[in-house]
Amino acid sequence: MDPMALLKQSFLEECDELLSALERCLQEMDTGATDTETVNAAFRAIHSIKGGAGAFGFTEIVPYAHGFEAALDLLRNGKVRVADAPLGLFLRTADAVGACVGAARSGQPAPQFPDLIEALRQFVSGGGAAAAAPVMPLAAAAAPEPPPVEAACGHHIRITPHDDLFRRLVEPPQILQSLETLGEPVLTCDVSAVPLLAALDPARCNLRFDVMLDSAATREQVEDVLERCFDADELAFISPAAPAVVSPPAVVMRGSADGMTGSVSGAAAATAGDEAMPAGSAGYEAAAVAAPAVSAGDSALAAARQLPLMSPLPDASGVVPTLKNRPAMVRTIRVDLDRVDRLMNLVGEIVITQSMLIDRSRDLPVLHALQLTEGIEALTRQTRELQDQVMAVRAQPVKTVFQRMPRVVRDLATMLGKQVRLATCGEDTEVDKTIIEELADPLTHMIRNALDHGLENPDERISAGKPVEGVVTLSAEQRGGRIVITIADDGRGLPRDKLLAKAISRGVMAADAKPSAAEIDALIFHAGLSTAEAVTDVSGRGVGMDVVKQNVEALGGRVTVESEPGKGCTFALSLPLTLAVADGMVVKVAGQRIIVPISSIMETLQIANCRPGSLPGGSEIVRLRGQVAPLIRLADLLELGGSGQETVVISAETDRGEIIGIAVDEILGQQQVVVKSLEASFGPVAGASAATILGDGMVALILDIDALPALVARRGQRPQPDQPVLVPHAA
């Protein structure tokens, strides 16, 4: 790909980021943020999009961006209050820009939304009228400037520079030179305002210029050129009808700029040095070229000149902005995610190599092993830190997903005619980027469900004695090695009777089954049962909670539901913080090594010390932390052939807060393990969330603590049925 195409692509990527920043700002405004920083940030975002779109030739984006920018500028200048801003229009415009960006990326023709451009134009011109003067003209195409009055025969422009002309390093030869592209300029310099030498400040410009330009160019073209270096109020176009007055004491510069060497500062000094020049020549009082009062600002500037570099300067409003009260500079670079992934993989390999080294060192004579230990310990520490740092690079706050949801809620609530408030908390909880990316779809879907099926219509709510406004709460928190995201609504709860009826009619459940409420609620995750009674435009898109469940499980997570009729419904997603590395305890069960995630372990005990016993039904229990907990013999559960060698109980807590005792033969140690998906190479394995590679190259399963209670329950339901026993190998 050629560099320009790459740049364009990179710009379009940037547009996505800018649009998401823009949308975030708009959401903040929608929820009452009126601070100028929010408006400024929105303005900057659209401004950057506009600039880039123009520069890269994505002209179809420009009109929207331009109108949007102009509209935001009204807010920025306080001409329109943020509370009065047409946020709906703004959001739709952001979408339109997004659609254009998408079209540009895929090379499709850009979609057209002329109504948006018109609406923005009307907003801007209306707002501008209210504020006496439009702040910024709209797109030239939409609102063409009135045609120039002048005939194309020539121009007389009087340039009356502010006295800071030299400080700005604008030199009159440049003026001539820049006009040469349009025609032949004749420059006349009026030095009448230059004071006598004694009073002269060589840094101040007291000159005035008259330019006669013989050119077919329009006034606009001439303005275009001159306004690069001059303010509009420094320029005056003198109509051909008026007598062209050229003052007597004048220096005339004519011809090519090449001939005019030497700086104007020098020229000014020279003219000022000519004592014959009378100051304040008659007839030029109106010019007011020189003698501006030294403004307060100027003296402040003069004072500031003494200050060290980078000291804050007074701005126009007199407020001294300090670098301190500005947001701290965030120094960032953009890195291709693939590179971070490669880095992560490499760290994973190092972790494996390191455990291999530890394994091998055990085989060395003691003396040599001791010599190695120190190095290995340092390596372990450094590997751990390296890994934490790489993980930190990949970690992102869930905010990046959460912030898309207000928009979903807003749009959907409008469509459904419901009043909904979205409350979020724990937005700063960080989780691996891979997981963040996979979260958006399930969350969007569940929020849609909550609004569409969970929350009642306003009149239903009133008759149920609830506030008209429904509340959907989206929260995230870190629990152990997992992140738990909940989506709760205060609506009607799951329709248990309907779910059960459907399950029975589909043969998912026996007609005479007596399932518990929780079991009925869990049917929502069953394929084909989560469809609403009427397929709505909102969530009836054929994607049900079963798909959400699949997606979440593919990430090594699980989703659960709790519902209370009439009160509401809560879905909880529990996901690993990272997919890459975990801390594990290596245990031995029936000759196999298994990894138990440290994050779930509370303590380890000798089996004799936790008073094992059994319930009348035959299930074994232990006492852990003063309570009775089920005892799970891992060798049985994982079909490794009952070992009967268990000596240790690991007390662990599942993501639902259940405490279980896991009996194993022996604890071998702790180590970091690189999490390798079993899903990808085989499929889901009940009881194992993933696998890892140990130092000796063998694969070990990582125990799925959270799935154990359900697994035990399932085994209990069908006591040793067609148990698929692995036939012992003859060898």
Partner 1 sequence: MSEFHAPADQAANATMRKIVTFRVDQRTFGIDVAAVREIKGWHPATPLPHVPPHVRGVINLRGMILAVYDLRARIGLGITAATPAHVILVVDVHERVAGLLVDAVSDIIDVPASAVRPPPDVQTCDQMLSGVVIVGEEVVSLLALDRAVDANPLVNTYPTLPSEAA
Partner 2 sequence: MKILAIDDTATLRTLLSHCLRDAGHEVVEAENGADGMAKFEACQPQLVITDLNMPVMDGIEFTRACREHPDGQATPIVILTTETGADLKSEGRRAGATAWMVKPFVPDTLLALVAQLDR
Residues of this chain that interact with partner 1 (CB under 8 A) are: 348-349, 352, 592, 637-640, 676-678, 680-683, 685-688, 691, 693, 697-701, 724-727, 729-731
- CB within 8 A of 626, min separation 6: which ones? none
* Complex with partner 2: residue 135 or 250, whichever CB lies closer: 135
Write out the H or E segment, with its range, that includes residue 584. strand 581-589
* Complex with partner 1: residue 417 or 724, whichever CB lies closer: 724
Smallest distance, Å, CB 685 to partner 1? 5
Tokens of 107: 């090379």
Placement of tokens 């009228």 in the chain: 129
How far is CA 253 from each of CA 171, 209, 290, rounded to the nearest angstrom? 13, 10, 21
Beta carbons within 10 angstroms of residue 571's beta carbon: 26
Instruction: Pick one of partner 2, partner 1, none as the site partner of residue 730 (Cβ within 5 to 8 A by kind).
Output: partner 1
The site for partner 2 (CB under 8 A) is made up of: 3, 7, 10-11, 14, 43-44, 47-48, 50-56, 69, 73, 135-137, 162, 164, 167-171, 174, 177-178, 181, 227-233, 297, 301, 304-305, 307, 309-310, 313, 315-316, 321, 323, 326-327, 329, 334
* Complex with partner 1: residue 300 or 685, whichever CB lies closer: 685
Smallest distance, Å, CB 527 to partner 1? 18
Closest residue by Cα to residue 483 from 399, 407, 381: 399
* Complex with partner 1: residue 306 or 681, whichever CB lies closer: 681
Smallest distance, Å, CB 300 to partner 2? 11
Instruction: Pick one of partner 1, partner 2, none as the site partner of residue 693 (Cβ within 5 to 8 A by kind).
Output: partner 1
Instruction: Pick one of partner 2, partner 1, none as the site partner of residue 638 (Cβ within 5 to 8 A by kind).
Output: partner 1
Q: Give every strand in the sheet of 627-633, ordered side by side.
A: 601-606, 648-653, 659-664, 627-633, 620-624, 613-614
Instruction: Pick one of partner 2, partner 1, none as the site partner of residue 326 (Cβ within 5 to 8 A by kind).
Output: partner 2
- CB within 8 A of 292, min separation 6: which ones? 162, 163
* Complex with partner 1: residue 255 or 642, whichever CB lies closer: 642
Smallest distance, Å, CB 173 to partner 2? 9
| Bridge partners of residue 559, in order along the sequence | 573
Q: What is the DSSP track for 226-270?
A: HTTTS-GGGEEEPPTTS-----SSEEEEES-GGG--S-HHHHHHH
How far is it, in rounded angstroms, from Cα 214 to Cα 348? 74
* Complex with partner 1: residue 153 or 680, whichever CB lies closer: 680
Smallest distance, Å, CB 171 to partner 2? 8
How far is it, in rounded angstroms, from Cα 703 to Cα 707? 9
Beta carbons within 10 angstroms of residue 697's beta carbon: 9
Instruction: Pick one of partner 1, partner 2, none as the site partner of residue 228 (Cβ within 5 to 8 A by kind).
Output: partner 2
Instruction: Tell me the chain's radius of gyration from C-alpha atoms.
Output: 37
Smallest distance, Å, CB 197 to partner 2? 23
Smallest distance, Å, CB 50 to partner 2? 5
**Torsion angle, CA of 362/365/369/371, rounded to 10 degrees?**
-170
Instruction: Pick one of partner 2, partner 1, none as the site partner of residue 677 (Cβ within 5 to 8 A by kind).
Output: partner 1
DSSP label at 166?
A: T
Smallest distance, Å, CB 346 to partner 1? 11
* Complex with partner 1: residue 476 or 638, whichever CB lies closer: 638
* Complex with partner 1: residue 401 or 635, whichever CB lies closer: 635
